[in-house]
Amino acid sequence: MATKKVQKVDVSEQFANLQRQFTNLDTKDPSLWPPLPRYILCLFIVVAVVAALWFVKLTDYEVELQTEKTTELTLREDYKKKLQKAVSLDALKKQREQIQQYVIQLEKQLPSKAEMAALLSDINQSGLGRSLQFELFRPGQVVVREYYAELPISVRVTGRYHDMGAFASDIAHLSRIVTLNDVAIAAPQGKDKERDIANGVLTMDATARTFRYLDTEEIQAQRKTAAKGAAK
């Protein structure tokens, strides 16, 4: 049986052949290069182009990723704020209800115009009940505010210091809102000055301020005044 001859490959000759393809290459005209250098150059160009495109694409992805992260942080902060508002909503509602109840209680303490005479009588009786003598009890000019009317009353009473303190306390505990302002306490003057001082009698001047609802006519007048002011 005949045996085939194994063709020997001269590795050194092949290596020399490859080496010769890379010698004396004209860098100005790669088209004249042998096949292997041309193939390697084309492969390098393809790899470089792909790498450049991939880098540009990755840069776009990085910018987009940073934008999305910023948007995510913003949305998280908005969510936290809205969550805090939602959690505190019930507490705010309770506070509003408490304030409304407080306002209603204050409004109940404001008398109407027809009830003012009874309130003035209550103030007078509070002083008399504490053994004070009224030397002056003079209601002043009504001052109309936006939602209520204020009536200042000039008061001068004589009596003992502790009785004056009790009178001020009684005024504060009236069912209607009354405040004492511009309080001034001094020794009494007059022909019985020495006797009064000996008996511990003092004189107190003050302005008692009371407050009441506005009646219908006053409310209409307020609205007309506001409308005229807005028209100017």
| CATH code, domain carrying 201 | 3.30.70.60
**118 and 213 assigned to the same domain:** yes
- Give CA separation, 114 vs 138, 154, 198, 209, 222, in Å: 18, 21, 43, 17, 19
Q: Which domain holds residue 203?
A: 114-218
**105 and 125 assigned to the same domain:** no
pTM of the model: 0.51
**213 and 123 assigned to the same domain:** yes
**63 and 131 assigned to the same domain:** no
**122 and 205 assigned to the same domain:** yes
- Give CA separation, 212 vs 115, 149, 172, in Å: 9, 5, 16
**121 and 211 assigned to the same domain:** yes
Residue ranges in the chain modelled with pLDDT below 70: 1-19, 21-22, 24-26, 32, 107, 190-194, 196-198, 226, 229-232
> Residues 74-104: pLDDT tens digits?
888 888 888 777 777 878 888 888 888 877 7
Contacts of 212 (CB under 8 A, 6+ apart): 110, 111, 112, 113, 115, 116, 119, 148, 149, 151
